[in-house]
Every structure is written in structure tokens, then in C-alpha cells.
Amino acid sequence: MNIGLLKDFSIIVAGAIAFITLWQGLFQYTRQNHAARANQFIQMRRRFLEEKSFQEILTLIHEKCDEITAKSIQDRRNLVGYFEEVALMVNSGLIRPEVAHYMFGYYVVLIDDCEKFWEGLDRQGDYWAVFRAFALKMRSMSVADDIRSGNIRI
């Protein structure tokens, strides 16, 4: 057997092994990244569902918006801050906008529409700019379009 042919063959085999190793590494990296994003989203959703003050405020906004001022300003501020965290995760690409809209958009729009919610809070202040932008984005989206397009996935 010719030494040159053996050399060429070994280069091809080594290149193929290197390519397969690289491909598997990228595949594993993508899977781990996806799992980390899913875990982060699950933790956010769990926090949202388990926080008693959030649920009380959202129930009041949905049923009796005029009575929302009975809840403390700090509880209301925490809820808006939570939605700003979701918005930052969307802006960072950690959560798809369609998923955020499907899971949280309804509540963001409710808060944005409830004037009494904002009593004692500076709604137009710089510190709520992320929430206002997020509310505009959520308002402009359609759940039906999100579902139809198949973009409701982590």
C-alpha cells in the first residue's frame, strides 16, 4: 500500500471524526441551552403562580379594579417589577415573545388598563419604561396568530 494513500486516508478519517465530534458538541450545547431556558421559564411561571400577593392583585384587577388601592404600593410595585423581569428575559432572547404573550400578556394588559392600580406609583416615570414598552408589545400581539404560527414553544 502506498504511504501517500494511507496518509490521505488517515487525514480524511481524522477530519470526519473531528466533524462528528464538533457536531455532537454543538448538539449537546444546544440541548443544554434549551433545557436551561425551559428551567428558567418554569421557575418564573412557578414564582408567578405561587406568589399570593400577585394572585390577590390579579383577582382584584380582573373583578374589581376600583378596589385595587387596598393592596399595598409595594405589592403592586413587585408585580410590575416581575413583569419587567419577564420583559427583560424576552428582550435578552431567553423567552420567546410569543410565549411571554401567551403566558403573561393578558395580565400585563389588565394592569396597563387599570388606572386605579397606578395610584401612588409614577406610571410615566423612567423606572416603568420597560413595563410600558412590554405592555405595548403584548397589546400588539395576537394569541391566535401565535398559536397558528406554531411559535408557542420554549
- Average pLDDT on 87-111 reads 90
Task: Specify whether 20 is located in the same domain as 87.
Answer: no
Task: Specify whether 88 is located in the same domain as 128.
Answer: yes
Residue 1 pLDDT class (50, 70, 90 cuts): low
Cell 403592586, located at residue = 76
- Average pLDDT on 87-91 reads 92
Q: How far is 80 from 90, CA to CA, in rounded Å?
A: 15
Could you tell me the residue range of the domain that residue 138 belongs to? 51-154
Task: Specify whether 31 is located in the same domain as 81.
Answer: no
Task: Specify whether 18 is located in the same domain as 71.
Answer: no
Task: Specify whether 46 is located in the same domain as 116.
Answer: no
Domain count, the chain: 2
- Average pLDDT on 85-92 reads 92
Q: How far is 62 from 146, CA to CA, in rounded Å?
A: 23
Residue 82 pLDDT class (50, 70, 90 cuts): very high
* Terminal C-alpha separation, the chain: 54
At 128-151, the pLDDT tens digits run 999 999 999 999 988 777 666 666
Half-sphere exposure of 72 (CA within 13 A, CB side): 5
Predicted pLDDT of residue 73: 92
Percentage of the chain lying above the pLDDT 90 cut: 38
Task: Specify whether 152 is located in the same domain as 103.
Answer: yes
Predicted pLDDT of residue 152: 64
Predicted pLDDT of residue 153: 61
DSSP string for residues in 117-140: GGTTS-TTSGGGHHHHHHHHHHHH
- pTM, 2 dp: 0.75
At 8-39, the pLDDT tens digits run 888 999 999 999 999 998 888 888 887 887 88
Task: Specify whether 10 is located in the same domain as 55.
Answer: no
What's 1's DSSP letter?
A: -
The answer to whether 151 and 121 are in contact (CB under 8 A) is no
Task: Specify whether 57 is located in the same domain as 38.
Answer: no
